[in-house]
């Protein structure tokens, strides 16, 4: 039997602790913008946990709501009568969602939200007598979680090549990150014609075989890749023309990251479904959701009656504790103006992050709202080594960043102050001098 301090039993493929040579670094407490480490240091959170703690850490209103709910109604079977908070939360979400998103399907994570949306898309066409529409289209470098649906439409070959045949009938559009997209502030100009690749795929298979297109409006996990101007608008126009559903995966961009509640509002493009998770409960407890248009929902209904049941749902769909956390999170966002705060800080953030441009081995910087990436050139023959080295040094220097390969990504909690932006970028600048 392992000793209590033996680290081998916990199987997490990507934990940085696997690669630290010395004692493991763990996080033992958190408050507002900071983590406390197991060796008693304060670390400024430059990534909102894993893009989820948008209101900062251990916010009393959210903590207290969860504590109260655990003592009041711990669980209510979602497939039976439900409970008031599930109805209240759905209305609150519809209230802040883009016009046209009128229904909410609950799940427990971003991955589940993606698989849920894909299943709704396929069932929707069937419900309308269009059962031949089964193909799905994703995008290279898209990240849609780790479910079988998500890795099939996801654009990371490494994430899907070990797992057999996956979903049949999936195509991937080219990604939006072009080489000339260098040191661009905000949305790059080029590339609405990238969306024409969708027309090419549609022509190849025939529109009547295609169910849905899924994209992150701004790809987060694979390196913070900005959509070129006009790109999302064009995807919307093409999908609408061909009766194909458009799904925005807003697991990262949802809940204020770009300065609007959802990226759909930021870009002025309304899809047919939006997946969300992470910031929905401020990272406190797992929860995901799919927001859907009335047209989609009503395909399963005749008046108030279901004509076709959607055979889908989870034990923990809309459970009371997650709903209580989500409602308290939305209250916090509203009271503190956090869903639009990134818009006000965008210029400050942009100037700060672009000040790193002349540091050694920096080859690109990208930003939007309160998200940004600093891309480094890889060390010859050792992709990801420089990035990981920066991650370790940054953590030692007192800031938490995220690296994906040699790309440093930052998405601080939306409560960050200008002085803390200076501290985050200043410390990263010091670290980058050694890159």
Give the C-alpha separation, 225 to 191, whole Å.
13
Burial class of residue 6, CB neighbours in 10 A (0-12, 13-18, 19+) = exposed
The DSSP annotation for 165-197 comes to: T-SSSEEEEPPS--TT--S-BSS-SS-GGGGHH
**Nearer of residues 248 and 300 to ligand PMP, judged by Cβ:** 248
Quick check: helix, strand or coil at residue 96? helix
Give the C-alpha separation, 248 to 254, whole Å.
10
- Length of the chain equals 435
220 contacts ligand PMP (rule: CB under 6 A): yes
Residue 204 CB, shortest distance to ligand PMP, in Å, is 26
Nearest residue to 31 (alpha-carbon basis) of 390, 415, 297? 415
386 contacts ligand PMP (rule: CB under 6 A): no
Give the C-alpha separation, 416 to 435, whole Å.
26
**Nearer of residues 108 and 427 to ligand PMP, judged by Cβ:** 108
Q: Which of 45, 171, 197, 249 binds ligand PMP (CB under 6 A)?
A: 249
Residue 114 CB, shortest distance to ligand PMP, in Å, is 5
With contact defined as beta carbons under 8 Å apart, do 153 and 336 qualify?
no
**Nearer of residues 221 and 293 to ligand PMP, judged by Cβ:** 221
Q: Which range touches ligand PMP (CB under 6 A), out of 106-114, 121-129, 300-308, 360-368?
A: 106-114
Q: Which range touches ligand PMP (CB under 6 A), out of 9-17, 142-150, 188-196, 226-234?
A: 142-150
With contact defined as beta carbons under 8 Å apart, do 117 and 277 qualify?
no
Beta-carbon count within 10 A of 168 CB: 9
375 contacts ligand PMP (rule: CB under 6 A): no
φ, ψ dihedrals at 127, nearest 5°: -60, -30
Residue 254 CB, shortest distance to ligand PMP, in Å, is 9
251 contacts ligand PMP (rule: CB under 6 A): yes
Residues 271-290 that bind ligand PMP (CB under 6 A): 277
Residue 120 CB, shortest distance to ligand PMP, in Å, is 16
CA Rg value for the chain:
22
Q: Which range touches ligand PMP (CB under 6 A), out of 249-257, 308-316, 319-327, 361-369?
A: 249-257
110 contacts ligand PMP (rule: CB under 6 A): yes
Residue 361 CB, shortest distance to ligand PMP, in Å, is 26
115 contacts ligand PMP (rule: CB under 6 A): no
Beta-carbon count within 10 A of 171 CB: 19
**Nearer of residues 221 and 350 to ligand PMP, judged by Cβ:** 221
Contact residues: ligand PMP, CB under 6 A: 109-111, 114, 143-145, 216, 220-221, 249, 251-252, 277
């Amino acid at each position: 039997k392992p000793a209590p301090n033996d680290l081998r039993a916990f199987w997490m493929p990507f934990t940085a602790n696997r690669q630290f040579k010395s004692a493991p670094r763990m996080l033992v407490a958190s408050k507002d913008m900071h983590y406390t480490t197991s060796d008693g240091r304060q670390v400024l959170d430059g990534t909102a946990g894993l893009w989820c703690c948008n209101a900062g850490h251990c916010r009393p209103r959210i903590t207290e709501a969860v504590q109260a709910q655990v003592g009041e109604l711990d669980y209510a079977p979602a497939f039976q009568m439900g409970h008031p908070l599930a109805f209240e939360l759905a209305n609150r979400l519809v209230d802040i969602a883009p016009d046209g998103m009128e229904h909410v399907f609950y799940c427990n994570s971003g991955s589940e939200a993606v698989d849920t949306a894909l299943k709704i898309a396929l069932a929707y066409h069937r419900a309308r007598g269009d059962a031949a529409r089964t193909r799905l289209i994703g995008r290279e470098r898209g990240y849609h979680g780790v479910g079988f649906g998500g890795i099939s439409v996801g654009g990371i070959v490494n994430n899907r090549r070990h797992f057999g045949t996956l979903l049949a009938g999936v195509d991937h559009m080219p990604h939006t990150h072009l080489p000339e997209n260098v040191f661009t502030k905000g949305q790059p100009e080029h590339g609405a014609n990238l969306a024409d690749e969708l027309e090419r795929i549609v022509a190849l298979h025939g529109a009547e075989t295609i169910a849905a297109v899924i994209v992150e409006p701004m790809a987060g996990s694979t390196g913070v890749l900005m959509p070129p101007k006009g790109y999302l608008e064009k995807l919307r126009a093409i999908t609408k023309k061909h009766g194909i559903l458009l799904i925005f995966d807003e697991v990262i961009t949802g809940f204020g990251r770009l300065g609007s509640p959802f990226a759909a509002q930021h870009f002025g493009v309304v899809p047919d479904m939006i997946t969300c998770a992470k910031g929905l409960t401020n990272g406190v407890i797992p929860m995901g959701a799919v927001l859907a248009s009335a047209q989609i929902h009503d395909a399963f209904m005749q008046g108030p009656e279901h004509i076709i049941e959607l055979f889908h749902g989870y034990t923990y769909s809309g459970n009371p504790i997650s709903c209580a956390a989500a409602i308290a999170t939305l209250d916090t966002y509203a009271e503190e103006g956090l869903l639009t705060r990134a818009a006000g800080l965008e210029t400050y953030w942009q100037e700060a992050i672009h000040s790193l441009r002349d540091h050694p081995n920096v080859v690109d910087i990208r930003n939007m709202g309160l998200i940004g990436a600093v891309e480094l050139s890889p060390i010859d023959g050792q992709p990801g080594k420089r990035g990981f080295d920066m991650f370790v040094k940054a953590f030692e220097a007192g800031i938490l960043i995220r690296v994906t390969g040699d790309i440093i990504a930052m998405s601080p909690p939306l409560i960050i102050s200008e002085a803390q932006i200076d501290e985050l970028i200043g410390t990263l600048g010091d670290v980058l001098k050694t890159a």
